[in-house]
Structure 1
């Protein structure tokens, strides 16, 4: 048995260890280490995924609400994944949330613009 230190300090059999990632999150950073057959490969510090929930809520309230609701769903899923330590999954869900937020804002602008144009030409 070989002891590999992580945040839980679990004893692990090196022969059974194929691939794991472990994450430390001091001050909005996480330290990623890959372990292959007992040999650690240092991958350095990466930034922690952002929280897009506030932006998604504003997109839902102020812009196109159906797309805003979808953005809120993906932002919530990303926050759940980040809380569990699955940072790669959180980054993927954050990307989807950001796309939906941008789509909601663009759709809201187009809808308001179309409404203004229709009102302008209906008065003439």
Structure 2
């Protein structure tokens, strides 16, 4: 009787799955284009004064990248879209805040 850890049946049906194994429902990245995580846009948005929105957009961008690394293509696509939306809203809001401050300071 040898150790059970070396047998094929034991490793295939292990109660503790390995982190490096991908699930069987993961789709192949070559079938579809790799979803974008919009990390650069989220980093640029962090320089705008709309700070709560841009930090949440940055977090969603990181979550999108992590989902893609785990093989969850649909989750990465959904999180990437949310990160893009929040980053764009942050950029537009930041520009509006900067313009409003400039107008307010120039009128005094």
Give, in whole Å, the separation in 1 of the partners of 2:66 and 2:37: 11
**Would you say how many aligned residue pairs link Structure 1 and Structure 2?**
86
Query: What TM-score, normalized to structure 2?
Result: 0.71
Bigger proportion of residues as strand: 1
Is the 2:26–2:73 Cα contact (8 Å) retained in structure 1? no
Structure possessing the higher relative contact order (Cα contacts under 8 Å, 6 or more residues apart): 2
Is the 2:37–2:76 Cα contact (8 Å) retained in structure 1? no
Unaligned stretches of 5+ residues in structure 1: 1-9, 11-19, 25-29, 32-44
Give, in whole Å, the separation in 1 of the partners of 2:26 and 2:75: 14
Bigger proportion of residues as helix: 2
SS in 2 for 1:61: coil
Query: What TM-score, normalized to structure 1?
Result: 0.63
Does residue 59 of the first structure (1) align with residue 45 of the second (2)?
yes
Partner of 1:36: none
Give, in whole Å, the separation in 2 of the partners of 1:22 and 1:70: 27
Does residue 76 of the first structure (1) align with residue 62 of the second (2)?
yes
Give, in whole Å, the separation in 2 of the partners of 1:22 and 1:87: 7
Match of 1:109 among 86, 90, 95: 95
Unaligned stretches of 5+ residues in structure 2: 1-11, 13-23
